A and B are shown apart, each in its own frame.
Chain A
């Protein structure tokens, strides 16, 4: 089995994530789509680590996981604070700032 299948799968996952960010309306779901994009990157990195015969890619994937965890902490805190005020996590309701 060739490695390109993994790369194609990762590209598809990344695209699904990116489209999800653009079309979904719930902040939590948008955030999950971003996490999907990061994990697609991880898969790409692992595949390239295999194909180039270096371990850098695997280590970078570990870094990405740690950074993603930190991002979750900050992101959920921000989403929680706005949810408590508005009782809604829809990003369409957050419409005070425009034009």
Chain B
């Protein structure tokens, strides 16, 4: 008789809720009549994500544990990041569900299989039918991300990476308007994503060869004992490449601008907030739990890519004329700032790098979600008006929209009294504590350069004449209004009173091996 592995159901509850809702969503898609599908799917997706968030909060006080034969670690960082992913996921689902803005009632194509531009496609763009497959897909992606941050085993990490990526590839190809761009984004994301996961997998194989195990705990023992040698270092490098790709860190960022621009804006918001959290969660766990005692293997590499990412993001962001692309380069730069927090991880338990990075992810997630939500409001005849010139004079035409966008842009730039400033301050301080002041100098310079292109949009909105045939600003329905209210409040609140949340992040910042 073979004993079944010991599973701690309570610890797995957040993921089970989300995956359960996703599976029910697939059944709803198959059996519910078309008219009732949209409200049911939206409700289900909200129940899943909010349920996942509540479940993480309920088990947050429990002692840390490693369950499923060592494959999953449910500890402070895992729960903190899972709560973040579920929360941002719920906000993204609200953006997906917005029906008041687009005349066609949805940001998603009715039937993705119909060729773009065909007579049938033109016919379908005017019908009020909406596609609801996106909700189960988003739930699977959210579930995969939650699994990704608690994976304590390279194999589980790989499976979670694919579970979160595959739905995202599909989602990014489903825009209702400008379908060619969207499909192109999906192809690029898919091919490059699969390429990167092949590298991750080869790294897994090499680490397995060097240590005889894929459990992070066993890898840690092997690195501490000094065995493994060149195979282990090579494996680590390949693993990190695969993860840095997902986090859109330069020089592995080439997909980011294209996919962010081509994908439907609610999906872009989802990717920018949640994928970043998940990818950095996995990077932190891998570097800290498996290679925490062999810092010399990863510190120089992370140092170099952090600088590359900040410089590339800030400099190339300057040359962009499309707001979505500009925010994509901003996300590359922010990935670099986040890596300064990763550098702030001290030797074995010391340092505030972990809590600072988690706090930064929280502030960046709220801000970027809000910025993309504002982007969905400003529209012309062919969907969203994301070209910079179209935003000229928006302050006169729609003061509220311009003010909210300015808030998010200032937060992205890291101006004091916004969440962006407290987040940056936390990661920079953590890096300085570890003696990485040259990195912080580069980060400050990059912040200054990046501030220029954020402020340029604000200047454009307030100090230039509106174009005669400018875009219209749509009146958002309830879902987008809720998202804007929550993200704007959080951006201000985390900027003025970050103490409570920072303390929470500090308490949560202990990995269980």
Contacts and interface: CB of A to CB of B under 8 A. Distances in A.
Interface of A: 7, 14, 17-18, 21, 27, 30-31, 34, 37-38, 40-41, 44-45, 47-48, 51-54, 56-57, 60, 63-64, 67, 70-71, 74-75, 77-79, 81-82, 84-86, 91, 94, 96-99
Given A67-B162, A78-B187, A81-B112, A44 B209 contact: yes
B283 to A, nearest CB: 21
A21 B257 CA distance: 20
Interface of B: 112-113, 115-118, 155, 158-159, 162, 166, 169-170, 173, 179-181, 183-188, 190-191, 194-195, 198, 201-202, 204-206, 208-209, 212-214, 257-258, 261-262, 319
A79 B116 CA distance: 13
B421 to A, nearest CB: 31
B187 A79 contact: yes
Given A40-B202, A51-B209, A94-B188, A77 B181 contact: no
Closest 5 CB pairs of A and B: A48-B209, A37-B198, A52-B212, A97-B258, A84-B115
Contact of A71 (B112, B194, B205): B194
A94 B184 contact: yes
Contact of A14 (B116, B162, B191, B202): B202
A57 B205 CA distance: 8
B159 A85 contact: no
Contacts, number: 126
A82 B357 CA distance: 38
Contacts of B191: 21, 27, 30-31, 34, 75, 91
Contact of A44 (B180, B181, B205): B205
A85 B187 contact: no
B187 A27 contact: yes
A85 B180 contact: yes
Contacts of B116: 85
Nearest to B196: A34
A54 B212 contact: yes
B119 to A, nearest CB: 13
Given A31-B191, A31-B194, A38-B198, A97 B206 contact: no
A81 B171 CA distance: 13
Given A17-B198, A31-B191, A75-B169, 6 more contacts: A40-B202, A44-B205, A78-B173, A81-B113, A82-B187, A97-B185
Contact of A77 (B170, B184, B213, B262): B170
Contacts of A84: 115
Nearest to B170: A74
B214 A96 contact: no
A78 B170 contact: yes
Given A34-B194, A56-B213, A74-B170, A98 B258 contact: yes
Contacts of B170: 74, 77-78
Contacts of A64: 158, 201
19 contacts: A21-B195, A27-B187, A30-B191, A37-B202, A41-B205, A48-B205, A48-B208, A51-B209, A56-B214, A64-B158, A64-B201, A67-B158, A70-B162, A74-B190, A75-B191, A78-B170, A86-B180, A94-B184, A94-B188
A78 B155 contact: no
Nearest to B215: A56
Contacts of A70: 162, 166
Nearest to A77: B170
Contact of A45 (B173, B184, B208): B208
Which of B166, B169, B190, B206 has most A Cβ within 10 Å? B190
Contacts of B257: 97
Nearest to B191: A30
